[in-house]
């Protein structure tokens, strides 16, 4: 799964990297965050038709998808991830898979490895080996025309990450096809994420990341390198 991640690039830098046409004011104002947690505002990238023109937009959404038909937005806290294997059948996600796909930019994500004996789990920071930004496949939804929300797709972890956790986010090698709003067949959309995605590397980090109250670049530093 993906329950915590790091996003510390400025909005304009992300716009340049992902060839974004428009940056919303809310997305531009989001601060650097090394400990992004569910239900907080996060940056998302999506495409939509405006005046006959296809625009790529960097926007802000609450992490935790709330379907348009939901009675209560509180259900979003349980919808931070969507399993790619079943997303096409789930009522909460299948409409967004067809019409409202997005990319969630991040620098890396955290995962916790269970201890062999009873004890604290070891957190790992997973990122591109060269530190390049990643784009997770996501879905978004607009609840009652007032709350934009999103979820991150996951799949079975690749062999080199499986010892840490059995799931990983679905990362896109290119966001263009995934964002394309003219692709509306669910099976066609799933085919776009059938490839393994970019190379990833994992390193253990300090347990200070366990608390969402902690933030800063020290959270992604390799274990043992933090200043005392």
- Enumerate the active-site residues: 2, 111
Instruction: Enter the DSSP assignment of 102.
Output: E
Nearest of 3, 187, 200 to residue 84 by alpha carbon: 187
Is residue 169 helix, strand or coil?
strand
In which residue are the tokens 């490895």 written?
Answer: 113
> What are the CA-CA distances from residue 36 to residues 108, 121, 151, 172, 208 (Å)?
10, 19, 13, 20, 14
- φ, ψ of residue 56 to 5 degrees: the values are -100, 125
Bridge partners of 103, per DSSP, are 45, 137
Total Cβ atoms within 10 A of residue 9: 17
Judge whether 164 and 157 are in contact, CB under 8 Å. yes
Q: Is residue 219 within a helix (H) or strand (E), and if so which, with residue range? A: none
User: Residues 190, 156, 194, CA angle at the centre, nearest 5°?
Assistant: 25
Bridge partners of 179, per DSSP, are none
């Amino acid at each position: 799964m993906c329950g915590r991640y790091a996003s510390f690039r400025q909005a304009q830098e992300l716009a340049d990297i992902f060839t974004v046409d428009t940056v919303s004011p809310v997305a531009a104002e989001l601060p650097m965050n090394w400990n992004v947690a569910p239900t907080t505002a996060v940056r998302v990238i999506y495409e939509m038709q405006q005046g006959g023109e296809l625009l790529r937009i960097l926007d802000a959404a609450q992490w935790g998808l709330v379907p348009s038909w939901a009675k209560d937005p509180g259900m979003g806290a349980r919808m931070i991830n969507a399993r790619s294997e079943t997303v096409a059948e789930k009522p909460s996600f299948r409409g967004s898979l067809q019409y409202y796909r997005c990319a969630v930019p991040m620098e890396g994500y955290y995962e916790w490895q269970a201890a062999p004996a009873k004890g604290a789990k070891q957190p790992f920071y997973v990122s591109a080996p060269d530190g390049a930004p990643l784009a997770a496949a996501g879905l978004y939804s607009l609840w009652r025309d007032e709350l934009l929300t999103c979820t991150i797709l996951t799949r079975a972890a690749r062999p080199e990450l499986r010892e840490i956790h059995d799931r990983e986010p679905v990362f896109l090698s290119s966001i263009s096809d995934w964002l394309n709003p003219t692709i509306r067949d669910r099976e066609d959309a799933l085919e776009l994420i059938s490839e393994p995605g970019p190379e990833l590397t994992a390193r253990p980090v300090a347990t200070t990341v366990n608390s969402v109250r902690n933030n800063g670049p020290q959270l992604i530093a390799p274990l043992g390198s933090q200043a005392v």
